[in-house]
Amino acid sequence: MYEDQLRGEVCEIGRRLYARSLVSGSEGNISVRLDQDRFLCTPTMVSKGYMQPEDLAIVDREGNQTDGYRKRSSEILVHLAVYQSRPDVQAVIHAHPPYATAFAVTRRKLPTGIHPEQTLLLGAVPIVRYAMTGTQLLADEVARQVDGNVAVLLANHGAVTFGPNLESAWQRMEVLEGYCRLLTIARQLGKPRKLARRDLRDLEELKFRMT
Ligand SMILES: [Zn+2]
């Protein structure tokens, strides 16, 4: 896909993150793989709701910036850790969605087998051990949890989703936040009920056919 098109898509995802209040201030970051060694990513200290295509930076697989007049995101090491661990991943999104981040700060595990959307689109969402933002340590902790998953929560921090393209990474972030919101409301009403084993098996079969 052409770089110009990807630049436009990253800005569009940034607008959605901001419009849906999944980031505040200059929080959050988005990246997409350009080729084996180059990654397009959002700049630091800029609202993700108002980015222009020329604001984006390009980094190599070590995180060295090779293009762009704005400084690259300080969280790019987390993105690169995901790309390195999962060659199939083409796009990564990090945000601080309020409901998902509430689970991350309380370190409360997300239950599975409750909602079809969660079963089909998210699966299990592990909580990555806390490490200081922007550090290689945090990137290493994330790398340990990405295998077989599409989303992780960062303890006391936020959420990371990834996928074969920007749109899928975005949908996973949106569904993750929706699921955490649903759980929060449901728990005010009572105890969420698990789906029956047979219904879960049907969903797993459908998921298998979808992939
Ligand atoms: Zn963050």
pLDDT digits (tens, 9 = 90+) for 34-93: 999 999 999 999 999 999 999 999 999 999 999 999 999 989 999 999 999 999 999 999
Within 13 Å and on the Cβ side, how many CA atoms surround 5? 7
Domain ranges within the chain, ordered by starting residue:
3-210
pLDDT of amino acid 1: 62
DSSP string, 81-121: HHHHH-TT--EEEEE--HHHHHHHHHTPPPP-SS-HHIIII
User: Is the pLDDT reported for residue 173 higher than 70?
Assistant: yes
What pTM was estimated for this model as a whole?
0.96
Check if the beta carbon of residue 90 is closer than 8 Å to that of residue 165. yes
Please tell me the distance between residue 75's alpha carbon and the centre of ligand 1 in angstroms.
7
Which whole number is the average pLDDT over 175-195? 96
Question: 46 forms bridges with which residues in the sheet?
Answer: none
Q: How far is CA 207 from the centre of its chain?
A: 20
CA of residue 134 to ligand 1 center, whole Å: 9
Task: Provide mean pLDDT across the span 8-13.
Answer: 98
β-pairing verdict for 39-41 and 158-163? unpaired
Class of domain 3-210: alpha beta
Q: How confident is the model at residue 96 (pLDDT cuts 50, 70, 90)?
A: very high
Q: Give CA–CA dist 162/37, Å, rounded.
A: 18
Rounded Cα gap, residues 111 and 125, in angstroms: 9
User: In the predicted model, is pLDDT for residue 211 greater than 90?
Assistant: no
| Cα distance between residue 97 and residue 140, in whole Å | 22
Task: Report the DSSP pairing between strands 151-154 and 127-128.
Answer: parallel
For residue 172, give the nearest of 164, 162, 182, 181 by alpha carbon: 162
Report the separation in Å between the CA atom of 185 and the middle of ligand 1, taken as the mean of its atom positions: 25
pLDDT at residue 120, as a whole number: 87
CA of 62 relative to ligand 1 center, distance in Å: 19
Q: What is the pLDDT of residues 15-50, one digit of tens each?
A: 999 999 999 999 999 999 999 999 999 999 999 999
For the segment 138-166, what is each residue's pLDDT rounded down to a tens digit?
999 999 999 999 999 999 999 999 999 99
What's the gap in Å between 133 CA and the centre of ligand 1?
7
User: 195 C-alpha vs ligand 1 centroid, how far in Å?
Assistant: 33
Q: 91 - beta bridge partners?
A: 32, 163
Average of pLDDT values for 105-129? 93
Element (H, E) at 38: none
Sign of CA dihedral 125, 159, 16, 150: negative
Catalytic residues: 75
Say if residue 133's pLDDT is above 80: yes
